[in-house]
Amino acid sequence: MIQLQDVSKWYGDFQVLDTCSTAVSKGEVVVVCGPSGSGKSTLIKCVNGLEPFQKGDITVDDVSVGDKATDLPKLRSRIGMVFQNFELFPHITVAENIKLAQLKVLNRNEAEAGQKAMQLLERVELADQADKFPAQLSGGQQQRVAIARALAMDPIAMLFDEPTSALDPEMINEVLDVMVELASDGMTMMVVTHEMGFARRVANRVIFMDEGRIEEDCSKDEFFDSQRGDRAQTFLSKILHH
């Protein structure tokens, strides 16, 4: 489904991604972790072309992201993305947030989009908040709306960029629960997160990144059980025993 082939990226002279290659197949959940500044967020933003890259190629459903001729808006509309800071649009209601791209990108009609919005809000247990504005919701609720907003486009894959990092601890689980459910429904997911509990529960594979390189790319069991490289070991011990 998602293929990364020797992706490299520079900010000026500084190399943020160094020949990263991996693949996410259909229905697979891949967790990307690593210390801050390791390039994991940049990597996931390259997948839907929010960040340009200079070398290598990424294909999603056999469409090349780096190719200038690719219709990026169209490709992006098929890949859902959830951000660290939710990024709901503050000036429109929760329901309108979920309808916006359905109406403007997929050209669904108002009734269809509204129905889809309500259906998804029920799924994330926020149907009663449909007419509120984002700022009137808690962080956890906002992130669940953001997930519903991404799902409204019927994506073939979902990207999560540290979806729980900006949340208060008591709200993390309500968001993770939605993601776990999504994974068990067979959604293809690429998740940048430090939530190792989540990785243990639902990940098929774990990618560990450091200094722009993919240092480890192995199955969940291998990652948590077997001998790893020093860096990954140090990183894991830091985040598991804080």
Partner 1 sequence: MNYNWDWGVLVREPYLEWLTSGFTWTIVVSLTAWVLAFSLGSVIGIMRTTNSNLLRRIATCYVELFRNIPLLVQMFLWYFVFPELLPQDAGMWVKRGMPMPEFTTAAICLGLYTASRVAEQVRAGINSIGQGQRNAGLAMGLTPAQVYRYVLLPVAYRIIVPPLTSEFLTIFKNSSVALTIGVLETTAQARQIEEYTFQGFEAFTAATVLYIIVTSIVMLLMRFVEGRVSIPGMISLGAK
The full 3-state SS of 23-76, as one line of letters, equals EECCCCEEEEECCCCCCHHHHHHHHCCCCCCCEEEEEECCEECCCCCCCHHHHH
Instruction: Give the distance from CA 54 to its chain's centroid.
Output: 22
Per rule CB under 8 A, is residue 101 in the interface with partner 1? yes
124 is a site residue for partner 1 (CB under 8 A): no
104 part of the interface to partner 1, by CB under 8 A: yes
Does position 26 bind partner 1 by CB under 8 A? no
In angstroms, the CA 215 to CA 21 distance is: 11
Q: Is 123 in the site for partner 1 (CB under 8 A)?
A: no
**Whose Cβ is closer to partner 1: residue 134's or residue 217's?**
134
Q: Based on CB atoms, which residue is closest to partner 1, 10 or 224?
A: 10
By CB under 8 A, residue 81 contacts partner 1: yes
- Answer for which of 55, 123, 132, 201 binds partner 1 (CB under 8 A) is 132
The correct pick among 6, 26, 73, 110 for binding partner 1 (CB under 8 A) is: 73
45 is a site residue for partner 1 (CB under 8 A):
yes
43 binds partner 1 (CB under 8 A): no
50 binds partner 1, rule: CB under 8 A? yes
CB closer to partner 1 out of 111 and 135: 135
Q: In this chain, which of 11, 21, 25, 91 binds partner 1, going by CB under 8 A?
A: 91
The C-alpha atoms of residue 215 and residue 208 are separated, in whole angstroms, by: 6
**Minimum distance, C-beta of residue 181 to partner 1, in the bound complex (Å):** 21
Q: Which of 6, 89, 154, 186 binds partner 1 (CB under 8 A)?
A: 89
Question: Interface with partner 1 by CB under 8 A: which residues?
Answer: 45, 48, 50, 73-74, 76-81, 83, 85, 87-92, 100-101, 104-106, 132-136, 149-150, 153
